[in-house]
Amino acid sequence: MSAEPSTGAQPAPTGAQPAPTGAQPSSGVEPVPNGAQPTSTGAQATSTGAQPTSTGAQPTPNGGVVLLRITGTFGAVLGYGCLAAFLYLISLQIYQWFREGDWTHIGVADGMHVWLTRCCVKDGDTGRLAALVHWLDAPADWIGLHKVLEILPASLALFALSILGNSIFIYCRDWSDARRQRPM
């Protein structure tokens, strides 16, 4: 390996001869300044900020597109995950209603308590999540918020989160598509 830093240019294939001055290269690739990527004749830079390659490989997206894809993926996971949880919770409540004849109210506070104790907090734990679980059991302050969380159905909150996540997903996808179609 040489100690020289890489300029990012692709090395010429072994046995390739340079095109005469003023003549078109035989491969259909225009000569480019040192350090730039060659592009096909008439090709334009993509909206990702990367140059298309002559081999037809996908260009590497820039940071903005990557951030949009990550945010869109987060929105999709949030949206469809909360939708699945909403459908599960409603199905459970309908099943109990058919079986027992009485609607079981599951509030946001109940759902948070069950989720936190199954997921993150064990008996005897200390920390912020343990304090939140303790507050959900017996609130000493923020009594009004606790009442709202007890009254608000968990299914409604999950459905609202699924709409929010799906909106983020669609917004990021549309914005990414618009960036891809925008001429440079």
- Residue range 38-74, pLDDT digits in tens: 544 444 544 545 555 566 666 666 777 889 999 999 9
What's the rounded Cα separation, in Å, for the pair 38 and 45? 11
What's the rounded Cα separation, in Å, for the pair 83 and 86? 5
Average pLDDT along the chain: 80
- Residue range 76-135, pLDDT digits in tens: 999 999 999 999 999 999 999 999 999 999 999 999 999 999 999 988 899 999 999 999
pLDDT for 164 beyond 70: yes
Angle between helices 154-181 and 63-100 (to 10 degrees): 150
* Short-list 47, 70, 63, CA closest to 168: 70
| Gap between the terminal Cα atoms of the chain | 37
* Short-list 19, 16, 53, 49, CA closest to 37: 53
Residue ranges per domain, the chain?
62-103+155-184, 107-152
Sign of the Cα pseudo-torsion (27, 33, 35, 40, in order): negative
Percent over 70 (pLDDT), the chain: 66
What pLDDT does residue 43 have?
47
Sign of the Cα pseudo-torsion (139, 145, 151, 155, in order): negative
What's the rounded Cα separation, in Å, for the pair 91 and 131? 31
What pLDDT does residue 41 have?
47
CB 128 within 8 A of CB 155: no
* Short-list 95, 110, 102, 101, CA closest to 152: 110
